[in-house]
Structures are given as structure tokens and as C-alpha cells.
Amino acid sequence: MNNKTRLPSLRALKVFQVAGRHLSFKLAAEELFISASAVSHQVRNLEEELKTDLFVRKTRALDFTESGQRYFNFLNSMFARLEVETLQLFSDYGRSQVRLCVPPFFAEEMLLPHLQEFQQISPGTDIRLSTQPSLMKAHPSEADLSILLGKGDWPDLRSYRLFSRKLVVGCAPGLMANLDPRSFASLDGQTLLVHENRPHAWEHWARALDIPAPRPANIIRFDSMSSVVQAASQGLGVALVSWPLSKHRFEKGELVRVFEQTVDTGEHFYIAHRRNEAIKPEISKLIEWLLKSFGTSDSTAAK
């Protein structure tokens, strides 16, 4: 009799690792280009195969069980090593490649419209681009570089500050007839657009300006900042818009600023990489280009 234990499939392990990194079946599905139900099914089959629960399933989130956290830590390290060894082989015998992970809205609004510029100055370097939500403030194990949103307090990372994240109130030009740019109270009775991962953003905005929070007639929630801005440009309501990420939308006239005030969130976008890794020339060149293209006068390399 063969008593050898059959190992789970590599695909199932990868699905679990990505789901564990995001702690979300939905976000894992977006990264893997499969449905959220397919991710859930793969993880459930893996749990049955291992005869242990890997996740605690909550109403709107996931958390690890003790065994799930232990297995994730091992797999995360294993996949990171696999990525490094594969890319080293690729580097030795093929074209140069840089793995860059950025927030989706940053990619859409800033990076993608300008990425061809980097290809022109570094034609021999391939970019492998992936995304993770800006609320996830961790550098992915499978990335060489990432764009993180935070305050630069990552002791295991070397980070380079790009620019601060600010908020402005924006809407479609056609909605300005219902608003008074001299009165914050004109937001009362309007439809407000909200990112579901930042449900209290309007309250925080009002507190920063020392004014009462707006009392909307309706609230429409979206699961991405891209959807919030798209809805605002289509006249569905008034939104808190990231600045300067969405600057070109105002320049093109898709959005107008309702009030002159800009609220600083206290967070910055950073370029980050692990301190204990040697930086290849193609990575250094990408860092230099990102700082030149998107940095401001206060951009610095973190100590």
C-alpha cells in the first residue's frame, strides 16, 4: 500500500496564497482573472484536502485560522523564492524584467498614460505590472518595487516619497447649478459618492475643515476609487477625489472643483523595495524615472 500523501496542486496553493495576501476572495479573483466563486471553491477544496480550515469567513472579510496563517507564511515565502529564482534565470539568459505593484487608481490615472516614456528610455526592460488596493500598505513578496500609500513607517523597506495624497470635492460641471462654492452647507440634500473601503471619508473631510458633516439626500457606494470618479464625471453625485491623482480629469473638464479648499490626508505615496535585496540597474532606472515623472519638490529617499 502506498502511504505517501498526495500534495495539493500548485494552482490551488497559489489561489490560497493570493487570497491570503488580500484577505479577500474578490480581490484575489481580480488579480488571478477568475471569478470570486472560483477562488472560494479552490480554497474550500484545498481545506477539504488538508482536512483543516484555513480561513475564518466573516460577513465582508476573511481572517486566518492558526493553521491558515502558518501555511500562508510558508507558501508566501516559497512563492517569493520561486519568483526570485525564476527571474534570476530570466535575467541571466533572457530580457531584463521588473515586477512593479501599484494601487489600481494610481496605475490608471498616472502610470499607464506615461509608461511608454519609460519603455522609450529603457527598451530592454520588460515591466510586469500588478495591482493591490491602496489600503493594503504592505510590499508584496512577489514584487521588486511597489507604490505604497502611508507615512513611510516600514522598517524592512527602503522607500522614496513621491507626493502627498490630498482630497478635493469634485462633481460634473452640470451639477454646479445645485451647489454654492461659498457654502459647505450646499452639500446638504445632495447625492454623495463614497468608496466603501473609506466609509467615513466625508466625516473626516468635514472634521479637517472644522465644519459640520454634510447631510446627504442619498449615498451611492462603490468598491473602487475609479468607479467613484467615473460616477462623479457622469453627474451621479458629488465625490471626494484624490488629488493630484485625478488632476487631469479637472484639466479636461470632466470634473470641476466645488470648493477651493484642499484637505491633506497626512499620507504620501512612496516607491518601496526590500532593504536586504541588491538593486539591479533596471530597477534603479525605474526608480529614477518614477521620481522624475511623479515626484514633487519634497520627494526624498527615506533613511
179-223 residue pLDDT tens = 999 999 999 999 999 998 899 999 999 999 999 999 999 999 998
| Topology at the third CATH level for domain 165-266 | D-Maltodextrin-Binding Protein; domain 2 (3.40.190)
pLDDT in tens, 113-155: 999 999 898 888 889 898 888 877 788 878 899 999 999 889 8
| pLDDT for residue 6 | 78
Nearest to 97 by CA among 144, 160, 132: 144
CATH of domain 91-162+269-294: 3.40.190.10
- Rounded to the nearest 5 degrees, what angle is found at the Cα of 243, between the Cα atoms of 242 and 248? 105
Nearest to 272 by CA among 164, 163, 159: 159
Q: What is the pTM of this model?
A: 0.69
Ranges of the chain with pLDDT below 70: 1-5, 87-88, 90-95, 278, 297-303
Indicate the CATH number of 10-77 among 3.90.1170.40, 3.40.50.620, 1.20.1290.10, 1.10.10.10.
1.10.10.10
139 grid coordinates: 510590499
246 grid coordinates: 485625478
| pLDDT for residue 95 | 61
Q: How far apart are CA 209 and CA 130, in angstroms?
A: 36
Look at the block and give the residue holding cell 524615472: 289
264 grid coordinates: 491633506
Q: How far is CA 107 from CA 111, 114, 249, in A?
A: 5, 10, 15
First to last CA, the chain: 60
| pLDDT for residue 92 | 62
Q: Which helix (H) or strand (E) holds 81?
A: helix 66-93
